[in-house]
Amino acid sequence: RTVYVNGDYVPEDQAKISVFDRGFLFADAVYEVTGVLEGKLVDFPAHAARLARSLSELDMPMPMPEADLLAIHRELVTRNGLEEGMIYLQITRGAADRDFVFPKGAEQGVVLFTQSVPGLADAPAARRGIRIVTLPDRRWGRRDIKTVQLLYPSMGKTAAKAQGADDAWMVEDGHVTEGTSNNAYIVKDRTIITRHLGEEILHGITRAAVLRMAEEAQLKVEERPFTVAEAQAADEAFVTSASAFVMPVVEIDGTRIGSGTPGPIATRLREIYLEESRANAI
């Protein structure tokens, strides 16, 4: 597999990054994950816009114009013959002597790689639905910035798997914030309920697309916090992300949701999302 590191396309086993890179030492880096369907990028402009915002919140510039970033994404898709999966992009503040103060004049690090996930769109998990456990949300307070500090979510997903579940939803002040790497939704009486945007959650690109599609399909949407008990009493639940699209949830903390199988609204939204994403990918 070919990866992109600071201006060069290199075989993955020859890629090098400084041990002084601040992404490595301080998690001083932001990232994006863009879905790939039929060799094309899903919602790239929205990912580029969120990247620019994450960088700006951390006083970092965009390292290159959006068009150049797009060209690198496309070049990697071509070089690796990627049909279905995702592209990971990470931008770090760069390498500098270890110091808590942001260094001046460090050269930003830019890394991209592809990950092939054959059968992503036709995932068996989507037909079965996933099981969720809940955990306290112990992440930092700026979850709207897509930084690479993923240790707590990584612990959470590992703990969920150890308990025989598929993923975890995190709970703060009695309300669900989001999943370890996805946004969380419930459906009650044909109304979709998902937490409002703020600093407590990542502003999912898939979330924005799916809420727009839901409104186009005449479904009601309420953006507000919900409790675990409300979720357990819901008709349906699901999560969204760039690499899982719309994924039905069938169990929360051992309680079956609805019939215990993927709900009709989650299933329909997944179909619509995949259809529109295939049609609009670039």
Stretch that binds ligand PLP, among 179-187, 214-222, 249-257, 268-276 (CB under 6 A): 179-187
User: Cβ of residue 259: shortest distance to ligand PLP, in angstroms?
Assistant: 26
Q: Identify which of residues 33 and 70 has a Cβ nearer to ligand PLP in the complex.
A: 33
Contact 193, 222 (CB under 8 A): yes
240 and 169 Cβ atoms separated by less than 8 Å: no
Query: Total binding residues for ligand PLP by CB under 6 A?
Result: 13
Letters for 58-97 (x = contact with ligand PLP by CB under 6 A, - = none) are: ----------------------------------------
Is 51 a binder of ligand PLP (CB under 6 A)?
Answer: no
Per CB under 6 A, the segment of 19-27, 69-77, 101-109, 181-189 that binds ligand PLP is: 181-189
Phi, then psi, of 238 in degrees rounded to 5: -160, 170
Residue 182 has which token pair?
A: 């996805």
Q: Which is nearer to ligand PLP, 94 or 156 (CB)?
A: 156
Catalytic residue among 146, 157, 161, 220: 146
Helices (H), the chain: 22-26, 44-57, 66-79, 124-128, 151-162, 205-216, 228-232, 264-280
SS3 string, 193-258, reads EECCCCCCCCCCHHHHHHHHHHHHCCCEEEECCCCHHHHHCCCEEEEEECCCEEEEEEEECCEECC
User: Of 25, 33, 52, 58, which lies in the binding site for ligand PLP, with binding defined by CB under 6 A?
Assistant: 33
Known catalytic residue: 104?
no
Alpha-carbon distance of 261 to 128, in angstroms, equals: 7
Stretch that binds ligand PLP, among 108-116, 156-164, 205-213, 256-264 (CB under 6 A): 205-213
Question: Which one, 114 or 183, has the nearer CB to ligand PLP?
Answer: 183
Closer residue to ligand PLP in complex, CB, 142/220: 142
Scanning 119-127, 156-164, 198-206, 212-220 for contacts with ligand PLP by CB under 6 A, the matching segment is: 198-206
Residues between 228 and 267 with contacts to ligand PLP, criterion CB under 6 A: 240-242
Residue with tokens 């070049």: 75
Distances (CA, A) of 153 to 57, 170, 232, 241, 248: 21, 9, 22, 14, 20
Give catalytic residues, as residue numbers: 146
Residues at the site binding ligand PLP, with contacts judged by CB under 6 A: 33, 178, 181-183, 202, 204-207, 240-242
